[in-house]
A and B are shown apart, each in its own frame.
Chain A
Amino acid sequence: MIALSLQNLDIFYGETQITHNINVEIKEGESFALVGESGSGKSTVLKAIAGLAPEWSGSISAFGQPRSHNIDQQFAKHCQMVFQDPYGSLHPRKTVDATLSEPLAIHGVSNQNGRVEDILVAVGLDRKFRFRYPHQLSGGQRQRVAIARALMLEPKLLLLDEPTSALDVSVQAEILNLLKRLRREQNLTFLMVTHNLPVVSFLCDRLAVMRHGRIVEIADVAELKRGALKEPYSRELMDISSAHAG
């Protein structure tokens, strides 16, 4: 089954067209990466899917259900997003418990108490963190809370916007392991935006390289590992990454 399908997606901010003719199909259970530099439009694609950039034409559909241009509760149930910066994405005046219960309240789900406890276990946070505020947590713990919040409604598709780029390498490893385990346990589909190719190599099955709002290449991660991407721009990105890896 197709988890997410984007067809001829053009996204606009006012007069400015950000993306041109994006076509992507992601199968259920797959982990798909969008890579590219800042300004290539990769985060904008995620925002459009999540409903944060409502000016688009073309079609977005998840699990066969097309997304409307408005706030779409049905869609939100299947598709949730994790943001880049855990310092900015959690409400500073809400406890972890309040943050995690809110999606349940909005969607009228029962057994809030039990669900919050279960999810804390799933993302590897001790119970003592439940009534703390974000400023009492480290960056890695906050990102675990942000992932937990996205999983509260038991979505099938997770949008990840640079989920580890604000974290230390050692904490990044913990979060990447967590994402990999959750995907296996809950049969999730990932759409991840990143500019870190080694992370793609660890976590993803396929990738699309974006530049100036267009997809220039879609490839298997096996090709990335072999260093066999075809487009000159993809190779350029790959070379920069391997030069740094030393």
Chain B
Amino acid sequence: MSLLEIENLRVTFPTPKGNIDVVRGISFNLDRERLGIVGESGSGKSMTGRAILKLIRAPGRVSADTFRFDGIDLRNQSEKAMRSIRGARISMVMQDPKFSLNPVMTVGEQIAEALQTHKRLPRREIRNRVHTMLEAVRIADPERVATLYPHEISGGMGQRVMIAMMLIPEPDLLIADEPTSALDVSVQAQVLDIIDEQVKRKGMGLIFISHDLNLVSSYCDRILVMNSGTIVEECNAGDLRNATHPYTRGLIAAIPQLNETRDELPVLDRSTWVAK
């Protein structure tokens, strides 16, 4: 049995011109592996991630033929039941630590809160686990950093705190939605290595959502390429160079290279494959 089984997932939003499907019947399975979802803005990749956590708010609607996480049918879980799954079993790292951390709580308190919500533990034990977790995300001085507020730390450190918070309840599945887009190239690699290390050590499943094909191919086992709400291509990360779909090939070609010799970058010709 797979950790996550999804068949014919749809996310629909009503508009004055009728219903619009932003995710149009996608199916995939996930084991304890690293799965990358890539696509442009508006391709439905983030909506897929949110749908898994049932975070699509009304008037948006989610429907699926199969929608199971670790044997639990997510379709008929109540909000209350979902709250015991979110964080504890499936957690999500968001894009920008500036907006996703609580500005009026110290880093230590926020991480502790993530743990306390799901487990009752003595205070000293919680403090120790928060410090161990901060060390695990390579923060050199956890005692001091735990007492700081989000505005007192850098973006890269903020994202590591976010990861610590998401991993402390020891979830089975981590969804990382553009976890490094707001960070510098040099810090990016460090943050991804931390995610990678933690995922491997704890044997979690990872869904890594990004628009950066190179990044996804170097950190994932398998890749789904999404375009306008559908999966246009699925391949092993190593085979991305041999991708066949014109959309995937277009995305790869549009990335400038370090030893660039082309005078003009190829631009996606959207008319050739637009799904109707």
Binds A, one of B66-74, B137-145, B169-177, B253-261: B253-261
Q: Which of A174, A224, A236, A241 contacts B267 (CB 8 A)?
A: A174
Chain B 241-276 per-residue mask, 1 if CB under 8 angstroms from chain A, else 0? 000000000110011111111111111100000000
Query: Is A201's CB under 8 angstroms from B211's CB?
Result: no
Contact residues in A for B265 (Cβ distance below 8 Å): 173, 176-177, 202
Give A180's nearest chain B residue, CB to CB: B264
Check B41 against A202 for contact (C-beta < 8 Å). Answer: no
- A180 / chain B contacts, CB cutoff of 8 Å: 263-264
Q: Which residues of A contact B250 (CB under 8 A)?
A: 170
Looking at chain A's contact residues, the main secondary structure is: helix
- A139 neighbours in B (Cβ, 8 Å): 41
Interface residues contributed by chain B, number (CB under 8 Å): 34
Task: Kindly list chain B residues whose C-beta atoms are within 8 Å of the C-beta of A237.
Answer: 185-186
How far is B268's CA from A172's CA once the two chains are assembled, in angstroms? 11
A168 at interface by CB-CB < 8 Å: yes
* Interface residues of chain B: helix, strand, loop or mixed (majority): loop
A202 to B255 Cα, complex, angstroms:
10
Does B234 interact with chain A (Cβ within 8 Å)? no
CA of A44 to CA of B145, assembled, Å: 28
Per the 8 Å Cβ criterion, residues 168-210 of A in contact with B are 168-174, 176-177, 180, 195-199, 201-202
Determine the residue in chain A with the shortest Cβ distance to B192.
Answer: A244
Residue B214, interface by CB 8 Å: yes
What 0/1 pattern do residues 28 to 46 of B give for CB contact below 8 A with A? 0000000000001100000
A172, closest chain B residue (CB): B254
> Do B251 and A244 touch (CB < 8 A)?
no
* A240 close to B186 (CB less than 8 A): yes
The verdict on A243 contacting B257 (CB below 8 Å), with A170-B251, A173-B265 known, is no
List 25 A-B residue pairs with CB atoms under 8 Å apart, sorted by A's residue number.
A38-B187, A39-B154, A139-B41, A168-B40, A169-B213, A169-B251, A170-B254, A173-B255, A173-B256, A173-B266, A177-B264, A195-B185, A195-B186, A201-B256, A201-B259, A202-B260, A202-B262, A225-B258, A240-B186, A241-B185, A244-B188, A244-B189, A245-B258, A246-B217, A246-B218
Q: What is the interface of chain A, defined by CB distance below 8 A to chain B?
A: 37-39, 138-139, 168-174, 176-177, 180, 195-199, 201-202, 224-227, 236-238, 240-246
